[in-house]
Amino acid sequence: MMRTRSWYRTTVASAATASLLLAVTACGNGSGSDGGSADWWHIQTGEQALVDLFPQLAEEFNEANDVDVNPEPISNDDFKPALTTIMQAGDPPDLFHSWGGGVLEQYVQAGLVRDITDEVADVAATLSPGAMEPYTVNDRIYGLPFDMGMVGMWYSRDLFEEAGLDPDSPPATWGELLDAVETLQDADITPIAVAGAAPWTQHYWFSYLAIRIMGVDGYTAARDQRSFDEPGFVQAAEMWQELVDMQPFQSGYLQQGYGDEGSAPAVFGSGDAAMHLMGQWDVAVQESAAGQTAPGLGWFPFPEVEGGAGSIDEVYGGGNGHVVGINAPDYVVDFLIYLTTEAYDRILEEDPGLIPVTAEPSFSDPEGHSALLHSTVQGASQFQLYFDQDLPPAVGDQVNNSVGAITDGSMTPAEAVAAMHDTFQAEPEFSVED
């Protein structure tokens, strides 16, 4: 999921978009003030980059079109349980933040969200298929993204070279990664930075191993059966345990979190570890926490597992977007299109850490990391949403906690996966209250 990014400077764009009226006329179904007030639940709060811009965009749209989009910011931690509660009551917000995936599928099946396929067809055609996939269910579109990205391996080319590793040929298989860990250790270089106090960061390792072993299709089949009772999950947990047992992490990692001074990205950014598995936002976190990025910063996709059903071009990640509630006024769809078209350059300017969702964006540095990650997502054979967003909230939390328990030694791999399975089995089917 997209984490809180307080390291971005918040500045509000001053110029109103002259063509706001086109946001309603583009779809031809703007209902004006007759549509009533529309609630917009978003998660830009605190010091996040879009906290001021989002309400400004709503105000400008409202004034130009005589409508009433009402922004309601909710913190990320509070958002998921609040949304679950209101959805179970059968009263969805008119527009709400969504990571798509399995949770959205539940809402589609319950008839709580609006099929906007025909209304957004022209816009969707300009967006990356990878960015659209989480918001598409059975070939029908229920939302639009404003951000996309993926988790991958950031590494220090300088430290690789110092250890005698070829920085132009980073590990492509799990076996090669373990060999690189040993080589780095032999050179007295800490191989990997890990935020041991933030289990969500560790779950990336387990999740990537699972989809490399089972393939995205294998994971999806297990998820649809509400099950972790598949050998691939235990194997992934055991492989994470194997890595932990090699002691490849920085000193004191179990007490270190993610994002502040002394955290895992600070260690990596300072050049005190050679690799860091993290999402596209990590570059900005390194700069904030360490005052710099890792020396000779590079990036490579998570390695394949030898003999696994998954491939290196299956991407694990996510983004941010919005979905339209079933009872929303028509102008809410127009507002969503506005966010994705006319207002989009302002959104990208306000939050430079976002990876554009457009199929053919322009980059100030065509050889830079943003361009590389965008092309990787664009060329992905399959895209898997973060497990802790793809699964029901309680199950996603258990995945994170179980992986963290392997890391700190309080659970064996088998016990950790069993806890995931038991939690999933105990999770009630999503239903709308009568």
Domain with CATH 3.40.190.10 in the chain: 22-149+318-365, 152-315+385-426
Lowest mean pLDDT among 52-66, 139-153, 284-298: 284-298
Report whether 157 contacts 298 (CB < 8 A): yes
pLDDT of residue 394: 86
Is residue 47 very low, low, confident or very high in pLDDT (cuts 50, 70, 90)? low
pLDDT of residue 434: 61
pLDDT of residue 24: 36
Is residue 108 very low, low, confident or very high in pLDDT (cuts 50, 70, 90)? very high
Report whether 185 contacts 243 (CB < 8 A): no
Tens digits of per-residue pLDDT, 177-197?
999 999 999 999 999 999 999
Tens digits of per-residue pLDDT, 1-16?
333 322 222 222 222 2
What superfamily would CATH give domain 22-149+318-365? Periplasmic binding protein-like II (3.40.190.10)
Pick the CATH number of 152-315+385-426 from 3.40.50.150, 3.40.50.1820, 3.40.50.720, 3.40.190.10: 3.40.190.10
Q: What is the pTM of this model?
A: 0.78
Is residue 284 very low, low, confident or very high in pLDDT (cuts 50, 70, 90)? confident
pLDDT of residue 23: 35
Tens digits of per-residue pLDDT, 249-282?
999 999 999 887 889 999 999 999 999 999 988 8
Is residue 378 very low, low, confident or very high in pLDDT (cuts 50, 70, 90)? confident
d(CA 44, CA 51) in angstroms, rounded, equals 5
Mean pLDDT confidence for 296-316: 96
Q: What percent of the chain has pLDDT above 90?
A: 66
Predicted confidence (pLDDT) at residue 429 exceeds the cutoff of 80: no
Predicted confidence (pLDDT) at residue 134 exceeds the cutoff of 60: yes
pLDDT of residue 220: 94
Longest dimension (CA), the chain: 70
Give the angle 352-393-228 at the CA atoms, nearest 5°. Answer: 110
Q: What percent of the chain has pLDDT above 70?
A: 91
Is residue 409 very low, low, confident or very high in pLDDT (cuts 50, 70, 90)? very high
pLDDT of residue 399: 97
Give the angle 325-331-332 at the CA atoms, nearest 5°. Answer: 35
Report whether 149 contacts 155 (CB < 8 A): no
Predicted confidence (pLDDT) at residue 385 exceeds the cutoff of 60: yes
Lowest mean pLDDT among 99-103, 139-143, 156-160: 99-103
Is residue 21 very low, low, confident or very high in pLDDT (cuts 50, 70, 90)? very low
In the block, tokens 């089917």 appear at 429
Report DSSP state, residue 378: H
Tens digits of per-residue pLDDT, 336-368?
999 999 999 999 888 876 889 988 887 777 777
Mean pLDDT, the chain, rounded, equals 88
Q: Which residue has the higher pLDDT, 30 or 207?
A: 207
pLDDT of residue 4: 30
pLDDT of residue 50: 87
Q: Which two tokens stand for residue 230?
A: 């598949």
Exposure b/e, 356-377, CB count within 10 A at least 16 = b: bbbeeeeeeeeeebbbbbbebb
Q: Which two tokens stand for residue 254?
A: 């179990």
pLDDT of residue 28: 34
Predicted confidence (pLDDT) at residue 133 exceeds the cutoff of 90: no
Is residue 35 very low, low, confident or very high in pLDDT (cuts 50, 70, 90)? low
Predicted confidence (pLDDT) at residue 22 exceeds the cutoff of 60: no
Mean pLDDT confidence for 152-180: 98
